[in-house]
Structure 1
Amino acid sequence: MGRNDRKRRTPMATKAIAASAALALGGAGLLWAQMNASAHESNSSGQNTTKAAAASAVATIACPDVGQQLTNVPQKARQGVATELANLDKQITEAYARLASTRQAQANDASFVQNAIVGPLKEKRAATIDRIRIDIQRVGGSVNAAALAQLAACTTQTANNTTAGGQNNNGGQNNGGQNNNGGQNNGNTAAPSASASAPAANNGGQAGNGPTAADFVDITKVANNVQAKPQKQAQASTGSFTTRCGVNANKNHNTDNVIVAPGVTNGAHHEHDYVGNQKVNAFSTNDSLLAAPSSCQNQSDLSAYYWPVVRVQDGSQEFDANALGGGKEGNVGKILTPQSAQIKYVGSPASKVVAMPQFLRIITGDAKTLTNGLANANAHWSCTGFENKVQLTEQYPICPQGSNVVRTFAFQSCWDGVNIDSANHRTHVAFADPASGVCGNGFKAIPQLTMRLVYKITPPTIQNGVVKNAYAVDGFPEQLHKASTDHDDFISVTKNNLAATIANCINTGKKC
């Protein structure tokens, strides 16, 4: 697979990774369609509610994530390959839209999905994947053409036969602990049997693609799952550096992703919040990032910090209700601005850190966990007052009165010492060993970027399997707004020797 996350796995997490690896080779991108029942209906109070669909009325389409297989793309071919990968995402999004809008035709014709959606999608993907092959070989790169061609085919499945979410645990955290979600069904896992209830079939959501009641859990009913941190060794770097960059109160949003899809408008298919660098879009260059203004108090920090927005699905409409990346792609509801956004760099429990290289790019988490499984999931959801006890990966928390939703990220803290990016945007960085904090395979410890976002959200309520006033993170429409798809993006851009200042502060044990 070429993944380089270097996290210690529990037996349960290991099974999930094995399943996701097998799926990635055989086709595992899930596109769900709610074929019966309305996407939403309003009760007498005007609040939005989400309806469940029967398991037999839900179809899935499985497509491999091609980008994660491309770990060795020559630099000269990367722009062309990135453009074609964005085309694959667009094709899946369009197929999902067709799947969701042809419910009656699917009910009338059992072969409709295969003939009208899956078959044409395979043809489009085959042509696009072949262009990827050509781009790589044109500049002297090597590729297994036969293996790459096999990634074109998509398959159909019923909800009861899906295995996309991996195991039913809320792990995937960097400490490697086994984080059981207290026995709640997250809606991502395979249904236990055809006769059992199947919350995975509940597409729900105002736009019909989630979230569902099964995507939420009362945090007071979840067993504690946060594991102890590694013990600090003699050479530990114990300091920290906090940069204050605001909460995106100026509503700087777009649906691009310059790391994954440079030069492609709407390459993310969902909205991002931006703090730090204020001129980040699909067409940003290193030079333009250096020349841009920053929202950070320290004007030497021009780094780009961006993450998918969180919305509350209360029936209200946002500015992008009729736009790509917004309502047209299943991202609906009011965008919530965090109450606070803490951005802090911390050290290593095992060693000193080296300064981050200029223009280093890091993505943490995985926007396509329904496609890829949980191997690279790094979502952390909790509530104030519970953060040291419970962290959720596969469900959103319902917080008790007086408690706010907390969304945190802990980025990869080991760097290969050479590359500022990699073909799949993962293999140039890695997580430290969760037990010791040591970076493996010659990787060097860098300041670990951590982020803590706090949101004031009226707790959703669930009655008879229906969720009212749900909230969810923006995402690709076929990923069903699952909590596990949360992710965060970062480009290190500094002036006036700030990167060295951050490393020195951390290495000398200061709080800066």
Structure 2
Amino acid sequence: MRESAMGRRRAVAVMLALELLLIGLGVGVAWGAGGAGDAPRRPVAGVPGPDFVDMNAVRSGAADPATSPPPAGAGSYTWDCGRNEIGHRNTANVVTAPGYPGQAHHVHDYVGNVSTAVESTPRSLAGAPTTCRNGDRSTYYWPVLRTVPGGDGGSGHPGHDGEIQVPAAVTLTFLGNPSGNVVPMPARLAGTVGDAVAVTNGGAHAVATWTCSSTAERRTTAYPVCPVGDRVLRIFDFPSCWDGRRVDSENHREHLLFATRSGACPHNTFPVPRLRMTLAYDLPPGVRFQIDAFDGQRNSPLTDHAFFLNLMPESVTARVVACLNAGRTCHDG
């Protein structure tokens, strides 16, 4: 037993010596961030921080709902709202905190409605211009992504002084339901995916949003280290089972639920088009990046999240529903 203990101590000493050697040589060593479908927690050479994981080591086909969203129906409807080329950003959240400016170091990117701001109301948004080519006045938003070449810039909020990365592409797609026809989304329906305070909130609503362009079938709750030439992807699959009564709820989740693993909706809910937002970023190899986050959340990838507020005109909604229920692949704008 004494020899076994001595052996363990030798192994630890060897590991520490190896880590110190790698650091001395300038080789990054990080522990995988973990999460369903992620690689085991082990040192990965070249990974820029503890919240990163090499996507080549992330397995596919995991059973956890966070890593493999429910199957979609045969139909899909894709439309173009740009990629926020106009630089529409602020700290507002018209779904969870209308009328409040939010924390200065938690900035959102927007596509769609160009007037979304602290003072916005559903009525003001309904009359505003949009970046969507099909006339969709809905607002779609998510925390900005920043590159962080080193340190926290003296702000006390690491990552918040980094350069904001405009997505190279933003793809909005509605997907059908494999169990039956979808019904139209009501006007002003609010949708939430992910949890901005997952680190201190237990992580129950955290979702795996991160991947790379060549590994899109895999998802991780960690920031991905992608193969050279790949784009970093953030994929948000929103819930799509509406209770038929409310357009929002106290926790912004109970009125719009996720489908089961088979794609069926829970009892007393109705399938609406399932929104998938895919954000693609062109980032230099080895660069460290983070999303904006609230105090106490460590800029963790677990806190990735997104929102929408539906203000799609009825004529466009009718096209969406007809396309999905007919099983067609449609592109509008």
Q: What is the alpha-carbon distance in structure 1 between the residues aligned to residue 324 and residue 254 of structure 2?
A: 25
Correspondent of 2:145 among 289, 300, 310: 310
TM value normalised by structure 1: 0.54
Tell me the SS of whatever aligns to 2:299.
coil
TM value normalised by structure 2: 0.81
2:198 aligned with 1:369: yes
Q: Deviations over 1:365-388 (max 9, x none)?
A: 001111112211123111111112
2:133 aligned with 1:271: no
Cα deviation, residue 170, structure 1: 2.3
Q: What is the alpha-carbon distance in structure 1 between the residues aligned to residue 77 and residue 177 of structure 2?
A: 13
Cα deviation, residue 262, structure 1: 1.0
Identity fraction in percent: 38
Contact 2:200 2:296 in 1 (8 A): no
2:167 aligned with 1:338: yes
Aligned to 1:289: 125
Q: What is the alpha-carbon distance in structure 2 between the residues aligned to residue 258 and residue 50 of structure 1?
A: 40
Query: Structure 1 residues 353, 250: CA separation in 2 closer, same or farther (over 3 Å shift)?
Result: same
Aligned to 2:88: 252
2:259 aligned with 1:432: yes
2:185 aligned with 1:356: yes
Aligned to 1:19: none
Contact 1:412 1:432 in 2 (8 A): yes
Cα deviation, residue 511, structure 1: 1.7
2:251 aligned with 1:416: no
2:74 aligned with 1:238: yes
Tell me the SS of whatever aligns to 1:220.
helix
Q: Which has the higher helix share?
A: 1
Contact 2:134 2:316 in 1 (8 A): no
Contact 1:340 1:454 in 2 (8 A): yes
Partner amino acid, structure 1, of 2:41 = Q
Query: Structure 1 residues 316, 247: CA separation in 2 closer, same or farther (over 3 Å shift)?
Result: farther
Q: Deviations over 1:253-282 (max 9, x none)?
A: 001111111111125851111000011112
Q: What is the alpha-carbon distance in structure 2 between the residues aligned to residue 306 and residue 433 of structure 1?
A: 25
Where has structure 1 moved over 2 Å in runs of 4 or more?
Answer: 49-52, 168-171, 221-232, 266-269, 327-330
Q: What is the alpha-carbon distance in structure 2 between the residues aligned to residue 230 and residue 306 of structure 1?
A: 22
Contact 2:240 2:274 in 1 (8 A): yes
Tell me the SS of whatever aligns to 1:302.
coil
Q: How does 1:120-139 map to 2 (within 5 A)?
A: none
Aligned to 2:298: 480
Correspondent of 1:503 among 321, 326, 332: 321
Calculate the aligned-residue CA RMSD, in Å.
Answer: 2.7
Tell me the SS of whatever aligns to 1:369.
coil
Aligned to 2:13: none
Task: List alignment gaps of at least 5 residues for structure 1.
Answer: 1-48, 53-167, 172-178, 187-210, 461-468
Task: List alignment gaps of at least 5 residues for structure 2.
Answer: 1-26
Q: What is the alpha-carbon distance in structure 1 between the residues aligned to residue 144 and residue 131 of structure 2?
A: 18
Q: What is the alpha-carbon distance in structure 2 between the residues aligned to residue 230 and residue 424 of structure 1?
A: 23
Query: Structure 1 residues 220, 303: CA separation in 2 closer, same or farther (over 3 Å shift)?
Result: same
Q: What is the alpha-carbon distance in structure 1 between the residues aligned to residue 102 and residue 70 of structure 2?
A: 40
Aligned to 2:39: 182
Tell me the SS of whatever aligns to 1:479.
coil
2:198 aligned with 1:406: no
Contact 1:272 1:309 in 2 (8 A): yes
Tell me the SS of whatever aligns to 2:196.
coil
Contact 1:261 1:267 in 2 (8 A): no
Partner amino acid, structure 2, of 1:419 = R
Q: What is the alpha-carbon distance in structure 1 between the residues aligned to residue 69 and residue 236 of structure 2?
A: 15
Q: Deviations over 1:392-431 (max 9, x none)?
A: 01x1111111111111010001010000000111111110
2:204 aligned with 1:347: no
> RCO higher in 1 or 2 (8 Å CA, sep ≥ 6)?
2
Cα deviation, residue 226, structure 1: 4.6
Q: What is the alpha-carbon distance in structure 1 between the residues aligned to residue 171 and residue 290 of structure 2?
A: 20
Q: What is the alpha-carbon distance in structure 2 between the residues aligned to residue 349 and residue 447 of structure 1?
A: 11
Aligned to 1:397: 224
Contact 1:245 1:297 in 2 (8 A): yes
Moved more, 499-508 or 361-370: 499-508
